[in-house]
């Protein structure tokens, strides 16, 4: 028998906490005293991935900045469901201006704090994929190129969900939205368009770019913590499944995010100054179909006729991610699932 480390807590590091873990090894979310940046009573749909991702990220930012965080929110689901007048779910300093200007507002706050000598207060900008990759893209790119001291977090649910599931530049190929209906010979969103914002951010050679999902809390927390250790423009792209827009069961939000990573469709990695520095390896590889079939937005790929060609195209893009980011361990054996 090989030597076995006995410091083994039933679920290793994959669960959020464990009663046997010392506090310094538990995740921030396992702490009963976590900030709860986004608290109960918000009006997000059942099983909202964005509400979950925002709390994960901001609680970690609050921990890293010792509670001194100002968040600037773009228009979108997150803003609408958290602050219907006169209620607010935010337990942190939080500000909303317009759909397209969150990065610019964050830049302004950062500059004001610097002028006041309050660099201990950290600024987080946040928005959905619409605000980030489409409407606010110009101000975000400016924030990047000036290297303003802001951590910008995009909660990517791959369409404009709040206004009725319209396509964004982050909507994946073949997905059905209200503006890319599943009709015609090439149903759903087209292939070959859209923006890969993490790579665009890397092209700005900013200090830190990372991707994460709500399926791997510890990874997400580590990336927020890392980003908060750095100064300058930082970008975190978090995949947050949307039960409403994706047509998935509300209980499957985390599972779908996990399948996105385990299929390779959503690569989880981090990059510094334009270079990929690490990627999170696939633990139990699955084909893209495992991910697609849980979502009604891809139902047209399976009925009335099965679109092998489209599924193969999606699998090819997953395989490209796996090769590009080195998502499989060299010694990993697909049979050991």
Partner 1 sequence: MEKPFAITLDVDSSLANHTGSWRVERPKYVNLMPPCNNACPAGENVQNWLYIAEDGSYEQAWRALIVENPFPAIMGRVCYHPCESVCSRGTLDESVGINSVERFLGDLAIEKGWKITQPEERSGFRVLIIGAGPTGLSAAYHLRRLGHDVTVRDAAMQAGGMMRFGIPKYRLPREVLDAEIARIVEMGVHIQLGARVDNVQEAIDDNFDAVFLAVGAQIGKRAYIPAGAAARILDAVNVLHDVEDGQAPLLGRKVVVYGGGNTAIDVARTAKRLGADESMIVYRRTREKAPANDGEIQEAIEEGVVIKWLSTVKHADEGVLKIEKMALDADGFPQPTGEFEDLEADSLVLALGQEVDLSLISNFPDLEVRDGVVQVDSSMMTGRAGVFAGGDMVPAERTVTTGVGHGKKAARNIDAWLRHSVVDKREKPAVVQYEDLNPWYYSDAPHAVRPRLEGARRASNFDEVVKGLDESTALYEARRCMSCGNCFECDNCFGVCPDNAIIKLGPGKGFEINLDYCKGCGICVTECPSGSILMIPEKS
Chain residues binding partner 1 by CB under 8 A are: 1, 4, 6, 8-20, 26-27, 29-30, 32, 36, 38-44, 46-49, 51-52, 55, 82-83, 85-91, 217, 243, 249-255, 258, 284
Asked if residue 173 lies in contact with residue 207, where contact means CB atoms within 8 angstroms, the answer is: no
- Using alpha carbons only, give the angle 147, 152, 153 rounded to the nearest 5 degrees: 155
Output the six-digit token pair for 50. Answer: 């964005």
Shortest separation between residue 301's beta carbon and partner 1, angstroms: 23
CB of 225 to partner 1, least distance (A): 16
Q: What are phi and psi of 125, to 5 degrees?
A: -100, 145
Of the pair 111, 254, the CB lying nearest partner 1 is at 254
Q: Which is nearer to partner 1, 202 or 214 (CB)?
A: 214
Nearest Cα to Cα of residue 128 among 48, 39, 59: 48
What minimum distance in Å lies between the beta carbon of 12 and partner 1?
A: 3
CB 151 within 8 A of CB 122: yes
**Assigned token pair, 215:** 């399926």
The tokens describing 120, both together, are 């201990």
Pick 16 or 111: Cβ nearer partner 1: 16
- The least distance separating partner 1 from the CB of residue 307, rounded to whole angstroms, comes to 28
Minimum CB distance to partner 1 smaller for 89 or for 162: 89
Q: Give the whole-angstrom CA distance, residue 317 versus residue 321.
A: 6
Q: How many CB atoms lie within 10 A of CB 138?
A: 13
Nearer to partner 1, 47 or 187 (CB): 47
Shortest Å, Cβ 29 to partner 1: 4
Burial of residue 104 (CB within 10 Å: 0-12, 13-18, 19+) is buried
Closest CB to partner 1 among 2 and 185?
2
DSSP 7-18: ---SSTTTSS--
The residue assigned the tokens 């309050």 is 118
CB of 50 to partner 1, least distance (A): 8
* Strand partners for 239: 156, 213
Smallest gap from residue 107 Cβ to partner 1 (A): 18
In the chain, how many H helices and how many E strands?
Answer: 11, 8
Torsion sign, CA atoms 278, 196, 103, 147: positive
Q: Which is nearer to partner 1, 55 or 307 (CB)?
A: 55
Cβ closest to partner 1, residue 43 vs residue 231:
43
- 239 vs 257: CA distance, rounded Å: 7
Output the smallest distance, CB 332 to partner 1, in A.
12
For partner 1, the closer of residues 230 and 249 by Cβ is: 249
Minimum distance from residue 160 beta carbon to partner 1 (Å): 20
Q: What angle do CA 136, 137, 141 make, to 5 degrees?
A: 125
């Amino acid at each position: 028998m090989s030597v076995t480390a006995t410091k083994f807590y039933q679920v290793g590091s994959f669960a959020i906490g464990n009663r046997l873990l010392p506090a310094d090894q538990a995740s921030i979310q396992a702490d009963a005293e976590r900030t709860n940046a986004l608290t109960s009573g918000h009006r997000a749909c059942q099983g909202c991935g964005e509400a979950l991702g925002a709390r994960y990220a901001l609680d970690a930012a609050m921990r890293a900045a010792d509670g001194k965080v100002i968040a600037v929110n773009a228009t979108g689901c997150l803003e609408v469901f958290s602050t219907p007048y006169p209620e607010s779910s935010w337990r942190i300093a939080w500000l909303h201006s317009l759909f397209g200007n969150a990065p610019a507002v964050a830049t302004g706050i950062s500059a004001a704090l610097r002028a006041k000598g309050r660099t201990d207060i950290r600024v987080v900008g946040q928005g959905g994929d619409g605000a980030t990759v489409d409407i606010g893209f110009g101000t975000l790119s400016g924030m990047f190129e000036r290297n303003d001291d802001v951590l910008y977090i995009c909660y990517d649910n791959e369409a404009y969900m709040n206004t009725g599931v319209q396509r964004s530049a982050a909507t994946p190929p073949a997905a059905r939205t209200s503006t890319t209906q599943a009709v015609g010979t090439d149903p759903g969103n087209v292939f070959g368009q859209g923006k890969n914002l993490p790579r665009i951010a890397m092209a700005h050679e900013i200090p830190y770019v990372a991707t994460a999902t709500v399926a791997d809390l510890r990874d997400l927390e580590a990336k927020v913590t890392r980003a908060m250790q750095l100064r300058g423009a930082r970008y975190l792209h978090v995949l947050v499944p949307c039960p409403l827009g994706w047509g998935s069961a509300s209980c499957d939000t985390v599972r779908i995010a996990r399948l996105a990573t385990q299929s390779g469709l959503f690569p989880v990695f981090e990059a510094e100054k334009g270079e990929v520095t690490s990627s999170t390896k696939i633990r139990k590889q699955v084909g893209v179909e495992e991910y697609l079939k849980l979502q009604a937005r891809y139902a047209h790929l399976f009925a009335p006729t099965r679109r092998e060609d489209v599924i193969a195209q999606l699998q090819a893009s997953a395989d490209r991610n796996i090769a590009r980011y080195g998502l499989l361990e060299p010694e990993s054996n697909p049979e050991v699932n």
